[in-house]
Chains A and B, each alone.
Chain A
């Protein structure tokens, strides 16, 4: 195995420790920024849907402000955002470099996009279901958790997958603030030193990750459409369905 790698990708083998460090940095940025962006995006996505005109907690003021902020941040290219946010990053996390310094800009770069996507996913829940739940006495929280988020789950999984993949793309730019990662490894050790095998392997790794994420997302979305992921049978003797 080792011999084979040496033969097909000699420079990658030489810089293998740096390569592993780059993979690790990308992974760190991905899950840390991803988790934070997921929570914030979901929150603001819900806020948009419930405060919009005709929403269950209509509030034009909150809606307009949220909407405006999202539009502003969405229109700034990420590489500019990265530099623009340096003072804020330094103030909040104490440093603007390395993985630590990249998380905040990555969150800022992902949240607006994800919020929009969540808004679209939640808007797909039929008015009728909301009305039925209201007629049964559900309040705002019931409607959010038991109807909106519950019924939109397959679409939420789809948009989360799309966002996760775009987040991986963003992490490759974080090299600009010295956060390392696969992107900057490919540029510094591959492109700049003319080691094409390094660039190729980096592409393959990113492709593989994207493919795995997309497949996982598709599978989960499919398995949650018109059904719950884990089904609990309540039939008296758990009589199996003829289907299974």
Chain B
């Protein structure tokens, strides 16, 4: 369980104060993959750094793993009523794995020594460390690279080593700070698959920070969207993707969905988006329990509504359809209204983008 209450952090820079976290609260169930999205400067990096106390929050309460109710005030952290020493903080961090955008492997150590880093000087025997490292290398499928230096690895391989290193001490929680942002699409996919596998096989709770919605869509169960140091939206990935509320979330989702192109087309006043009198340009969004695309054909046939499709995209997220169709509906006013009602009954939400029915 990870639970954060009213977390605040302000950086005092020469150029002025920057509020990175402005009263953030949320909680993450054990064993879930939790995504935190936001543009750079939204505070997501500070948030994840506060979770393992790499950054000390100004104020707030953190529960992470077995550490319940760590309290921050006045630049210090308190656990069970006592100030946490540097040693206690280090001890706590050992129970939380973390991976980074730029991997941060030791350049002068082999893959073996990098993964062994968190195991050394902890009282484990040499043989014990060796067994664990080889086991981890099997887990990330890099056994043959055991004696190689990081400079000889690809980005995806480096991140695999970093994951193995982060998991070496058997943490129950893994924090991922933009871990796929420096990788090509193929490597990104393989890293995300690996993380998903680790979550399923080992039951590790994974917190993913990213500016790429596609990453969250691929592996997260729940998500939060941050803006200006605050969480502006929180919920299951499906709910947020199918029905985003906050403007920033809509913008984010539009940028990751092929349907998002419509905003650009409308802004350019493209000929595709011109509506004649009585027509409407609408976004038809498929929601949970919606039967599928043939609803549109049924609507057209039953109500005599013509649908001129401009964009269409459907994908499945956790088994539910996500996406929809954007097109121009034409016909007489009554049939359009009846058609829309029919769609709503069948779990297709209509969002009117341009309305030719008024004047």
Residues of A at the B interface (CB closer than 8 Å) are 126, 128-129, 131-140, 142, 146-147, 150-151, 153-154, 224-228, 231, 233-236, 239, 241
A137, B91: Cβ atoms closer than 8 Å = yes
Residues of B at the A interface (CB closer than 8 Å) are 52, 54, 86-87, 90-94, 96-98, 100, 102, 104-110, 112-113, 117-118, 121, 130, 133-134, 144, 146-151, 162, 165-166, 169, 175
The distance from the CB of B275 to the nearest CB of chain A, in whole angstroms, is 52
Chain B residues with CB under 8 A of A138: 90
Chain A residues with CB under 8 A of B149: 226-227
Q: Which residue of A lies closest to B117 (CB)?
A: A136
Chain B residues with CB under 8 A of A146: 117
CB-CB under 8 A for A137 and B94, given A128-B102, A226-B107, A231-B110: yes
CB-CB under 8 A for A132 and B98, given A139-B87, A235-B146: yes
Chain B residues with CB under 8 A of A227: 108, 149, 151
Question: Which of these, B93, B146, B147, B150, contacts A137 with CB under 8 Å?
Answer: B93
Q: Which residue of B lies closest to A224 (CB)?
A: B108
The distance from the CB of B322 to the nearest CB of chain A, in whole angstroms, is 34
Chain A residues with CB under 8 A of B134: 236
Q: How many A-B residue pairs have CB under 8 A?
A: 89
Q: Can you give 9 A-B contacts (C-beta < 8 A)?
A: A132-B100, A135-B52, A136-B93, A142-B121, A147-B106, A153-B108, A224-B108, A231-B147, A236-B134
A234, B108: Cβ atoms closer than 8 Å = no
Q: Which residue of A lies closest to B52 (CB)?
A: A135
CB-CB under 8 A for A137 and B90, given A131-B104, A234-B130, A241-B148: yes
Complex CA–CA separation, A37 to B240 (angstroms): 62
The distance from the CB of A54 to the nearest CB of chain B, in whole angstroms, is 11
The distance from the CB of B74 to the nearest CB of chain A, in whole angstroms, is 17
CB-CB under 8 A for A132 and B104, given A138-B90, A228-B110, A234-B112: yes
A234, B100: Cβ atoms closer than 8 Å = no
Chain A residues with CB under 8 A of B166: 135-136
CB-CB under 8 A for A136 and B118, given A131-B104, A241-B148: yes
